[in-house]
Amino acid sequence: MRWVWAALAVWGAIHPMYWFVTWFRTEGWSLDRMIDAWYVNAATTGLTWDLTIAAITLTVWVLVEVAVRRNWIALLAIPATFCIGVSCGLPLYLFLRAKPVR
């Protein structure tokens, strides 16, 4: 199962980035404009908040489990979540969590 999580983490990094890069090429390389697009209507605002809450929840889960299990490498899931997305951060965390801790 560990390698399924790894494959999903890679997919979760690459697939959304394709769409982000496509958007940047069409609309210009402005992060401010992209953030504005996240709040363009109720549907995108709801999705933005859904992913934000999921990212915060995942971060709390990672922090709590790292404190208990001392699996420090699992902290990599936090920057992956906020720099790439929950679609990468969650499966990455599950991949790192599935590794035997010594």
Copy the structure tokens of residue 7: 């494959």
Average pLDDT, stretch 78-94?
97
Per the prediction, the chain carries an average pLDDT of 94
Residue pLDDT, tens place only, 89-98: 999 999 999 9
CA count, 13 A, side-chain hemisphere, 80: 25
**Do 17 and 85 form a contact (C-beta atoms < 8 A)?**
no
Give the DSSP H or E segment for 34. Answer: helix 31-38
Which pair of tokens denotes residue 29?
């390389």
Domain boundaries, the chain: 1-98
pTM of the model: 0.87
Question: Which of the four pLDDT bands, split at 50, 70 and 90, describes residue 42?
Answer: very high
